[in-house]
Amino acid sequence: MARIAVIGAGMGAMAAAARLAVAGHRVAVYERTETYGGAVRRFERDGFSFDTGPGLLPVPAVHRDLFIKTGKEPLEDLVELVQVDPSSRHVFADGTEVSLPNASRAGVVTALDEALGGDAGQRWGDFLIRAREAWDRTRRPLLEEPLWTDWSVLADQEPYPAVPHKKLLRTRRASTLAEIGAWELRDERLAALLESHALAYGLDPRTAPASAAVLPYMEHAFGTWYVRGGIRELARAVYERCLARRVEFVFGAEVTRVLEKDGRAAGVELADGTLVDADHVVADVDPARLRALTERPLDEDGDVRADADSPRPVRCTLLLALRGPREDGTVHRTVVHAPDREAELDLLASPGGDGPRCPTVTVLRPDDPALRPDDDHESAVVSAVLSGDAGWDDEGTVRRYTDFLLEAAGRAVPGLRERLLWHEVRTPGDTEGETGARFGAVPAPSLAAGQGRFLHPANTTRVPGLYRVGGWSHPGGGLPHAGMSGALVAGLIVEGPQFKGSQ
């Protein structure tokens, strides 16, 4: 039985802790804040409740697997999963609207044909087929296995297939997500639909590799799900599973150093000077903070690391308390696309310039009595992913983006201004305070190609016995990816270097 110290109580950290405890190890989690969940938090006021992090659950199978492997009670016995249908409603810059059915290719094709005209639905359907090929080629190495020693194979290989070019009588391979939209979809609204999946993580479609096509494919293939009571209920269930497996949690315990002995990780030091011995250390922190905790550099030539020249994306969120009931037929998620696509992308890539611009905005309106004081009120969450270099310490910038988000939300919520009781603004600084992520940055999932700029640091490190887990490690950000990284780290510790992924 090994002693294992886990830094942070995010979703990836708790997933690893539960699996390691089931394997017979003694696991202690040290969390610098006073609660668990990382970015999966809840805000409550006046009888209203809001998810302040992710509001929807993709790929629930990852969490089903976690609960199957760590106890007798399956996930569905502990939380209520609801499939969101329609999956999303899109309001495009030209005023066109379309609601897309959940996990139905035929339904999506029909909806797009009716809303956009021509053969728009068929073009999107053909794209999904090619996106599935990219998914099939990258699923195991990107999600189910520790990062290959020769990770450059993933860095150099673009798994998105080439398509025939009718006029030139040859195939043409898109190298970026934007090129897929321009060459294959040939409709600005379809391109906006495609690119919104990348923008949700702060990825610029003009530089994101074509392999990012797996993002809309995953949503299409596995559906979009909601946890009744909010996604925070999922974090609660994982936390309680950890407690049931005798994982120890120490809150208000900031780790300031990873201890080393004989060239390997040997424990952690806390802010109050306490030294904790351990045989292995698992860190659910962003790379900048992890480097500060070690006595020697983790990144050297050959390591996978984020593109230092790219601004780190952040999320700005508004929590809306609304008077009046949620109208019949309201769609759970509405994406309001930016009025000026190029201006949005330019600002994401190069902050500053002419100042804030209206971004692509997501509005979540869950039909959940647990989130409102009564049926004569409604709670809604409005968010956008923006550049971390936009000047978030300036009150004027925050006000401008607040106005942009409220304006966009008005296209999703009829009579918004008249219904608004109050709103709470959550800036990247709030995210940084809760998660410890530098500047409140939002981690993106790993992607093949792009010369390795879209891969994440491996789960192992150059310090033996020190492992990475969570959104900033392989396989990247998001709820399912955090759970997958937890499975990978647990396998590496329990089964050793021969481990090839979750079973």
13 with 435: CB under 8 angstroms? Answer: no
Residue 250 and residue 252: Cα distance in Å, rounded? 7
pLDDT at site 304: 53
Lowest mean pLDDT among 8-17, 120-129, 191-200, 302-311: 302-311
pLDDT at 393: 82
Query: Is the predicted pLDDT of residue 95 greater than 60, yes or no?
Result: yes
For residues 318 and 409, the answer to whether their CB atoms sit within 8 Å is yes
8 A C-beta contact, residue 88 and residue 335: yes
SS (H, E, C) 194-236: HHHHHHCCCCCCCCCEHHHHHHHHHHHHHCEEEECCCCHHHHH
What is the rounded average pLDDT of the residues 76-83?
97
Confidence of residue 351 (pLDDT cuts 50, 70, 90): low
Residue 287 has what pLDDT?
Answer: 85
- Provide the 8-state DSSP code for 394: -
pLDDT of residue 428: 93
Averaged pLDDT for residues 266-280: 98
d(CA 359, CA 316): 11
Specify the pLDDT at position 168.
56
Give yes or no for residue 170 having a pLDDT over 80.
no
Q: Region 121-141: what's the mean pLDDT?
A: 95
The reported pLDDT for the residue numbered 437 is: 87
Q: Which of 144-153, 161-170, 426-435, 476-485 has the lowest mean pLDDT?
A: 161-170
Residue 371 CA to residue 112 CA, distance in Å, equals 32
Classify residue 501 by its DSSP letter. Answer: S
- Asked if pLDDT for residue 87 goes beyond 90, the answer is yes
Mean pLDDT for the stretch of residues 340-357: 80
d(CA 50, CA 232): 9
Average model confidence (pLDDT) across the chain: 91
pLDDT at 295: 76
Q: Which pairing describes strands 88-91 and 81-83: parallel, antiparallel, or unpaired?
A: unpaired
Q: pLDDT digit string (tens) for 407-431?
A: 999 999 999 999 999 999 999 999 9
pLDDT reported for residue 367: 96
Tens digit of each residue's pLDDT (9 = 90 or more) over 375-391 = 999 999 999 999 877 67
High-pLDDT (> 70) share of the chain, %: 93
Task: Round to whole Å and give the CA distance between 196 and 199.
Answer: 5
- What pLDDT does 502 receive? 45
- Confidence category of residue 321, pLDDT binned at 50, 70, 90: very high
